[in-house]
């Protein structure tokens, strides 16, 4: 069943609900006409619906974003059959107050110098559109539905699909 959202507030609320409990995502940038993906840990989905990630300004992804700021962020929660694909524009953000707000001591595993690291910065993704697939059924129920669809010739129910425009 396809679903669309009428207001920005509804869209942001749905996005936050879908991303709840998914820490890591694959961030895809464009480099010389090729797509490059890497895992990133989401720090926040803010009240505007923007995504925030920590990074270093000395990484290839920062160079790629400065050349072409279009990105995709793909989230997956297979145990709940939830998948989200986000398209947006990325920007490097060095706002010290925001860095301190989002900082957690566990991040020292990636940034050993902590808040004193001069290359520490944030990536802010302003979402333009997101798509999601969400099936509340267990894998066994989905398999039964798939088999039924094969036997009857009817299309299998894949759960809820939606488009979120920001």
Q: What would the pLDDT profile of 135-152 be if each residue is shown by its tens digit? A: 765 443 333 333 333 444
24 — pLDDT class (breaks 50, 70, 90): very high
Answer whether 34's CB lies under 8 Å from 67's CB: no
- The pLDDT of residue 164: 67
CA atoms within 13 A on the CB side of 131: 6
Q: How confident is the model at residue 3 (pLDDT cuts 50, 70, 90)?
A: low
Q: Which of 49-63, 94-108, 143-157 has the lowest mean pLDDT?
A: 143-157
Q: Identify which of 125, 118, 126 has the alpha carbon closest to the alpha carbon of residue 56.
A: 118
Domain 2-165: CATH superfamily is Electron Transport, Fmn-binding Protein; Chain A (2.30.110.10)
Note the Cα 144 to chain centre separation in Å: 30
Single out the residue of 46, 127, 43, 52 nearest to residue 84, CA to CA: 127
Select the more confidently predicted residue: 111 or 156.
Answer: 111
Q: Using the predicted structure, report yes or no on whether residue 160 has a pLDDT greater than 80.
A: no
Predicted TM-score (pTM) of the model is: 0.82
User: What pLDDT does 2 receive?
Assistant: 57
């Amino acid at each position: 069943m396809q679903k669309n959202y009428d207001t920005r507030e509804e869209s942001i609320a749905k996005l936050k609900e879908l991303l709840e409990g998914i820490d890591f995502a694959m961030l895809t940038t464009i480099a010389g006409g090729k797509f490059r993906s890497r895992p990133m840990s989401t720090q926040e989905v803010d009240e505007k619906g923007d995504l925030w990630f920590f990074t270093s300004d000395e990484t290839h992804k920062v160079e790629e974003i400065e050349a072409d700021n279009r990105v995709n962020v793909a989230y997956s929660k297979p145990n709940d059959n939830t998948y989200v694909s986000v398209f947006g524009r990325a920007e490097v953000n060095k706002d010290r107050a925001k860095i301190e707000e989002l900082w957690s001591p566990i991040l020292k595993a990636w940034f050993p110098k902590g808040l004193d690291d001069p290359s520490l910065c944030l990536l802010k993704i302003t979402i333009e559109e997101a798509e999601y697939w969400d099936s509340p059924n267990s894998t066994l129920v989905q398999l039964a539905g798939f088999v039924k669809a094969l036997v009857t010739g009817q299309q299998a129910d894949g759960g809820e699909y939606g488009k979120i425009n920001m």
